[in-house]
Amino acid sequence: MTTRKNLIDKIKYGFLSVFLLISVLGQAQNCIDFENPTDIDNWKGNLLTNPLQESSWGIWDLQIKNTGGGTNPTNYLYFRDASRGSRAINDKDFAGNWLTKGKDPCLCFDYRVNWDTGEHTLHRGAQFEIYWASEEITSIADYQDFMRSRFTNTNILLYPPPNGGQIKGFRAVFVADPANPIIPKDIWKKYCLPLEQSNNAELPSNKFGSWIIHYYDGTGNAEKLSGATAVTAWLNLIKDVQGVALSSDYHSRPSEEISFDNFCWACVDEPNPTPCCDIDGFEATLTENNGSFSVSINGGNVSIQEVEISMIDYHIEYSNEDCKPDDMGNFGILSTTTTNLAGLLLNASDNNTSSLSWLLGSPAILNNSVNLDIIDPLTLNLDCCDVKISFCLKVRVKDVDCNVCEKIICYTSEPPPKPCDLKITDSAISKSFCPGDTVTINWSGTSPSGLVNLSLIDVTNWVVYQIIATNIPNSGSYTYTIPTGIPCEPARSWQFYIEDPQKTCWNYGPVFTIECCEQTECDCGKWENNSIIIKRKLKQIPYDPKIKTAIKPYLGEKVTCGSKIKLRSSIHYSFTAPNYICTSANCRASYKWEVIDSANNIIQSGTGKTFNYSFVKGGGLYKVFFTPICGSKECRPCFISIAVE
């Protein structure tokens, strides 16, 4: 069998060790290294007026220091433990889908712990947590209210919830491998967290440790999840991380000094996950414009005597094996018309090779751009063939003091993923409703597919009570009628839930209540007529006598309730219910529709008198139901049977 992996052709330049580091070095721009002093603004607990005062997060002296952080002498994050439970939290820089933040499924960082006693700590790794909570965490009290709930597992320590455990959500904790050595005092170490999706019943793990995940129901109860439930919760959390929490509690004495540096979305142990660089201010970026490329280089404040740009990795991915030509040509070759680079001269023999060098001439301060032409592989000129190209360049400079700096810059022809940031916005939902009430669900944000799913969550039991609609357009609003048979005595708490069908993002709306109410006099009546109207969009049909005689133009066809009809697959039809009259003149009927397959599975449903639908290829037997609703009562439906060819 031909697999997608067989369709990938890779051309590699340079040493294998360089190639293996590409995925790491190419992501250097995604690191949080605290070189910008404003990096601290997104850490909760920052006290700009008095950094020595204990914050509401139970930490002291949160600041950026520059006395030698990580594996390089650079700025780093610093805070001290106070006399109670304490954490530094960031819900800005780390929020979002962690599966798309970097090429590699890891987050690596440097950390150091120091204390003022000779007694060693019992910890064997950095304390690191990620979370999603139903409410914003604004203080350590909030976080403790979130995490210190009554665990239902008998093997978990019971924490008394200080405020009733009213915040619900998920919290994943990285637990160090017990075989690892105990943390040394005041020594920088590197730590890497695995972030990949889990394909079995275990959460991601590596040599540093493994993840565990807890669920908090918002009523003071918590549960350590396991098996398939834990895997599902992990996948939802890792795609919508709200923030990270770094504990300062490493020792029995409240004296710990905690330092972190170089948070990078890449898998690496040693050395530090940034390229070699001994030149302050060095930067290199790659831009593309209609197939041409430009490399911008800033060499800092010292004159540069050598510049080299080389191709070190080139990937080609064909959408189909038949799209790959027998001869792919000589590709990945570099050429340029920039023969003079700030006084440095291009080695003429380098053009049309895999490496360009500017060596001769007069050294000078460098802040210039180099235009590049890169030969692409030959491809078949077919509409059905797609080709994805990605490559990485290494930019190396040497200044007049013989300091060297390198950076890997990469390009891919694959467009970036579309944003996914759905959020239910209607604050008017936060009130009480009765069964049968009509509610307009409003939301904001985008989804990659352009579609959304809506569900109703029973907050009391934390289960999905009803799938309201699936694969509906991301229009920003949806009108929903609360079922008449919904549990309402006593009153219960509910939430609407929205997600992208691809499960790339999801969110919960405000909590509201549904209680049994005295219903106005409104009862079932009768159908004013008994025919469902079916229309279809006309499309131009190629001339073919056989096809022409086989197609029946169901344009405005009326089909009597209970009757059968034949329709075609892959054609867009609209279905309109007949009029229904309730018993009271002040009571107007609403409608619920359902498409049901031959196994009595509801494959799509919604509300309204008209809906559009296209049957999938392959044919089959289906039924379309329209159920009228008078007040809170569902009345006798009208349905038709459909044989799809």
The DSSP secondary-structure symbol of 155 reads T
d(CA 251, CA 320): 57
- Give the list of residues 6+ apart from residue 446 with CB closer than 8 angstroms, or none: 418, 419, 420, 421, 422, 474
d(CA 111, CA 193): 13
Q: Is 80 exceeded by the pLDDT of residue 241?
A: yes
Q: Is the four-CA dihedral 581, 584, 587, 591 of positive or negative sign?
A: negative
What is the per-residue pLDDT for 16?
28
Percent of the chain with pLDDT over 90: 22
What's the pLDDT tens digit per position in 75-134? 889 888 865 567 888 988 899 888 887 656 789 999 998 877 656 677 889 999 999 988
> Could you tell me if 598 and 622 are in contact, meaning their C-beta atoms sit under 8 angstroms apart?
yes
d(CA 316, CA 300): 35
Q: Is 50 exceeded by the pLDDT of residue 273?
A: no
Residue 124 CB-half CA count within 13 A: 12
What φ, ψ does residue 299 adopt, rounded to 5°?
-90, 10
The answer, as to whether pTM is greater than 0.85, is: no
Q: Is 90 exceeded by the pLDDT of residue 354?
A: no
Would strands 257-264 and 243-247 be described as parallel, antiparallel, or unpaired? unpaired
Please count the other Cβ atoms lying within 10 Å of the Cβ belonging to residue 601.
8
Map tokens 């009391």 to a residue. Answer: 460
Q: What value does the mean pLDDT take over residues 526-540?
A: 80
Where residue 42 falls among pLDDT bands split at 50, 70, 90? confident
Which is more confident, 57 or 617? Answer: 617
What's the pLDDT tens digit per position in 493-502? 898 989 888 7
Q: E strands along 142-220, which residues?
A: 150-151, 168-176, 189-194, 205-206, 209-217
Where residue 135 falls among pLDDT bands split at 50, 70, 90? confident
Q: What value does the mean pLDDT take over residues 396-400?
A: 89
